Amino acid sequence: MPPRTRISTHNHHPRPLWPALLWALLLLMLTTVPGMAAVRATLDRAPVYTGDIFTLTIENDGLSSGQQPDLAPLEKDFDVLGTSTSTQVSIFNGRRSDKMQWHIQLQARRPGQLRIPPLSIGGQQTAAIELDISEPPQQSAAQTGQHIFIETDTRSTHKPVYVQQQIPYTVRLYYDDRLQSGELSAPTPEDAVVEQLGKEKRYDTVRNGRQYHVIERSYVISAEKSGELHIPPAVFRGRLAAPQQGQPARRARSPLEEFINNSPFANDPFFRNRLSGNPFGDPGQPITIRSQSTDIPISPRPATAGHDWLPAEEVTLSDSWAENPPQLKAGEPVSRTITIQTKGLSGSQTPELSIDTPANSRLYPEASTAESRTDGTTIYGVRTQTLTYIPGMQGILEVPAITLDWWDTRQDKPASTTLPAWQFNVLPGDPGNTNEAPATAPSPSAQAATTPPGTDDNKIAQANQRWLIMGGGAVLALLLAMLVWRARQRRPGGATAARKKAQVPERKSALRDLQKACATNNPQSAAQALLSLAQSDWPDDPPHSLAALATRIETGQAELHELDRNLYAVDAADWNGATLWNEFKQGLQKKKAAGEYHNDVLKPLYPQ
């Protein structure tokens, strides 16, 4: 036996606690201050061409207390054209966080491999950023000198592109101040799905000494079959102002013209045309501009691919049990949430996991949810599955591992991601809370094997009596539920209501149909998908026309008017579904206050 440590009690006084508390507070401050003062630097886009004006954003966690970044190191390779600041304040779970941002407009002085050096703010520094300033593509250089032209870009990695794999596609519209109005349409390739990433970007640039405004949109295209994928040109249709030569003295401008010309949107033709269109002024010259088309070979699914075809850059699995493992008891349900995230695939392309039921337990999966996210350059698919496990008996419960096979497009080889297996020691459950009755009565031999030593026949009889009472209660509850169901079915209109509910189209299916109709610019299919979506939101009283639907929603009436007009127009080839999809891709936003509407008396938005 090890010797005891003797503790002297002679003249023993407790030490004060304030030094330890002071040291703990100092240690907490030292460990939290660097995280609060983190400084980051990012660029608004890539690639950057010669003459482009781009934005460098410096973000500081916490308020700057009057400190400003030192921009002197930038002057070696860049011209600093202007700076602006902004602050962000957010409160989450009662905690406030502040962010300070500096937006610096830069223009490279020369092409080549340039470096944005670390920039200091107080005692913190940003990380360096390497960027390649290259000459503009030949297609835009050849069109430089025109008032408007389109440039497209597909980032090629010189690796095979497979079916359903994400293809980045960027469209840039260059225009000068002669442009009055217009609409830019995304390409619509056959046998492929096109999805826009984030919001469009707007900036200015210079091509061969000429100033242009730029609208940049990023897309991803996924081919649905192998072979040659033909991406048709992106199309811009608009109006160009006629050149003004020998113009006489201008008349006095109206207050509306003064407001528009002094507004920050004066150089934005997409805004200016909607507000200041003058029917008696220059109507402009109609123009149609097309980009170059692109052909990309699409490889079929490799023979070595797994059961699930997932061509992605990265696939991760996360388990809610990893952070908080549960304590299992017999007969008590436990929830588990598994999340799949794919880089390079949308949420609809991310499959549901096939999960085996562990022995001596029950498994109840809920309907999974899928969504798509983007960082502006890549699409991410997220699918969440929630499962409920109910152990059937005390003992060891083995929950098998979960493996998802996928195809690594970066390495061009098969890959897999696995959640490890779990082993739990299931504790005995509370008899009062047990809600799982055994499928069959235990045999006498099984009772003898599971009965602890010293248990007499009276205790066994009590246990059997308890199981019989619980089983009888379950049977009575089932009979009562059947009686209630039959009573509801006998009510007038009960069966009809059930049939109506069964006929309600699935909301997700209606949204997919709406997305496809908008992507292919098909107004008839878009109207049908919107009414199907409305039927899923109002199953008992669905609207029967777009006009009726317009009275029930908070926003989107203008898009419904435009769609309805194109349904009855002589030539609806110019209808673009992108605006309609952006408005309704999250579904229909019902009016907060219940309004009065009647489907049978509303007139169409436009006469047939």
The per-residue pLDDT for range 388-397, each reduced to its tens digit, is 999 999 999 9
Length of the chain: 608
Residue 514 reports pLDDT greater than 80? yes
User: Does a structural domain hold residue 559?
Assistant: yes
Give yes or no: residues 279 and 156 share one domain: yes
Q: Per the structure block, which two tokens stand in for 150?
A: 């389109």
**Chain-wide mean pLDDT for the chain?**
75
Number of domains the chain contains: 5
User: Does a structural domain hold residue 305?
Assistant: no
- The pair phi, psi for residue 62, each rounded to 5°, is 100, 165
Contact between 255 and 298 under an 8 Å Cβ cutoff? The reply is no
* 384 pLDDT tier (thresholds 50, 70, 90): very high
- The pair phi, psi for residue 411, each rounded to 5°, is -95, -10
How many angstroms separate the CA atoms of 141 and 151, rounded?
10
Q: Name the residue range of residue 516's domain.
A: 504-584
How many angstroms separate the CA atoms of 193 and 184, rounded?
18
Q: What's the CATH number where 372 sits?
A: 2.60.40
CB burial readout 144-180, b (16+ within 10 A) else e? bebbbbbbbbeeeeeeebbbbbbbbbbbbbbbeebbb
Give yes or no: residues 482 and 493 share one domain: yes
User: Does a structural domain hold residue 419?
Assistant: yes
Give yes or no: residues 147 and 292 share one domain: yes
Q: Is the dihedral of CA 575, 581, 583, 584 positive or negative?
A: positive
Give yes or no: residues 206 and 71 share one domain: no
User: Does a structural domain hold residue 432?
Assistant: no
Which residues lie closer than 8 Å to 264 by C-beta, 6 or more apart?
none
Mean pLDDT along residues 515-531? 87
Amino acid at 44: D
Give yes or no: residues 414 and 532 share one domain: no
Q: Which percentage of the chain shows pLDDT scores above 90?
A: 20
Residue 228 reports pLDDT greater than 70? yes
Tell me which of 607 and 130 has the higher pLDDT: 130
Give yes or no: residues 102 and 175 share one domain: no
Give yes or no: residues 232 and 291 share one domain: yes
Least confident span in 37-46, 366-375, 450-459: 450-459
How many angstroms separate the CA atoms of 414 and 309, rounded?
10
Q: Among the three residues 114, 134, 154, which one is the final residue of a domain in this structure?
A: 134
Residue 110 reports pLDDT greater than 80? yes
At 419 the pLDDT is: 94
User: Does a structural domain hold residue 25?
Assistant: no
Q: Among the three residues 404, 426, 448, which one is the final residue of a domain in this structure?
A: 426
At 330 the pLDDT is: 92
Residue 313 reports pLDDT greater than 70? yes
Contact between 601 and 546 under an 8 Å Cβ cutoff? The reply is no
Q: Per the structure block, which two tokens stand in for 119?
A: 């920039």
pLDDT 10s digits, 459-485: 444 555 555 566 666 666 677 767 666
Task: Give the Å distances, CA to CA, from 90 to 84, 96, 141, 232.
Answer: 21, 6, 45, 44
Using a 10 angstrom Cβ sphere, with 0-12 exposed, 13-18 middle and 19 or more buried, the burial of residue 119 is: buried
Give yes or no: residues 69 and 144 share one domain: no
Give yes or no: residues 267 and 174 share one domain: yes
Tell me which of 85 and 1 has the higher pLDDT: 85
Q: Nearest CA to 295 among 174, 412, 169, 408? A: 169
Give yes or no: residues 370 and 275 share one domain: no
Tell me which of 475 and 519 has the higher pLDDT: 519
How many angstroms separate the CA atoms of 501 and 188, rounded?
36
On the question of a cis peptide bond just before residue 47, with omega within 30 degrees of 0, the verdict is yes
User: Does a structural domain hold residue 46?
Assistant: yes
Q: What is the pTM of this model?
A: 0.46
Least confident span in 30-34, 103-107, 108-112: 30-34
E-strand stretches of 247-321: 285-290, 294-299, 311-312, 314-319
pLDDT winner (highest mean) among 303-312, 417-426, 438-447: 417-426
φ/ψ region of 454 (left if φ > 0, alpha if ψ in -120 to 50, else beta) reads left
Q: Among the three residues 232, 266, 299, which one is the final residue of a domain in this structure?
A: 299
Q: HSE of 266 in the Cβ direction (CA atoms, 13 Å)?
A: 9
Amino acid at 607: P
Which residues lie closer than 8 Å to 215 by C-beta, 6 or more apart?
172, 173, 175, 184, 200, 201, 202
How many angstroms separate the CA atoms of 58 and 74, rounded?
13
Contact between 263 and 283 under an 8 Å Cβ cutoff? The reply is no
pLDDT 10s digits, 532-563: 888 888 888 888 888 888 888 888 888 888 88
Helix ranges restricted to H, 144-254: none
Residue 453 reports pLDDT greater than 80? no
How many angstroms separate the CA atoms of 183 and 188, rounded?
15
How many angstroms separate the CA atoms of 582 and 567, rounded?
19
User: Does a structural domain hold residue 448?
Assistant: no
At 456 the pLDDT is: 42
Mean pLDDT along residues 173-201? 88
How many angstroms separate the CA atoms of 271 and 202, rounded?
13
How many angstroms separate the CA atoms of 171 and 187, rounded?
9
At 342 the pLDDT is: 93
How many angstroms separate the CA atoms of 302 and 285, rounded?
51
Task: Give the Å distances, CA to CA, from 246 to 39, 239, 249, 250, 282.
Answer: 55, 22, 9, 11, 15
Q: Per the structure block, which two tokens stand in for 67?
A: 């400190």
Give yes or no: residues 85 and 234 share one domain: no
Please name the helix (run of DSSP H) or strand (run of DSSP E) that holds residue 532, with its range, or none. helix 523-537
At 569 the pLDDT is: 61
Helix ranges restricted to H, 374-490: 444-450, 457-490
How many angstroms separate the CA atoms of 64 and 60, rounded?
7
DSSP for residue 246:
S
How many angstroms separate the CA atoms of 268 and 258, rounded?
15
CB atoms inside a 10 Å sphere around CB 30: 9
Contact between 521 and 574 under an 8 Å Cβ cutoff? The reply is no
At 171 the pLDDT is: 92
User: Does a structural domain hold residue 599?
Assistant: no
Contact between 189 and 169 under an 8 Å Cβ cutoff? The reply is no
How many angstroms separate the CA atoms of 366 and 364, rounded?
7
Give yes or no: residues 143 and 291 share one domain: yes
Helices 523-537 and 507-519 pack at an angle, to 10 degrees, of: 160
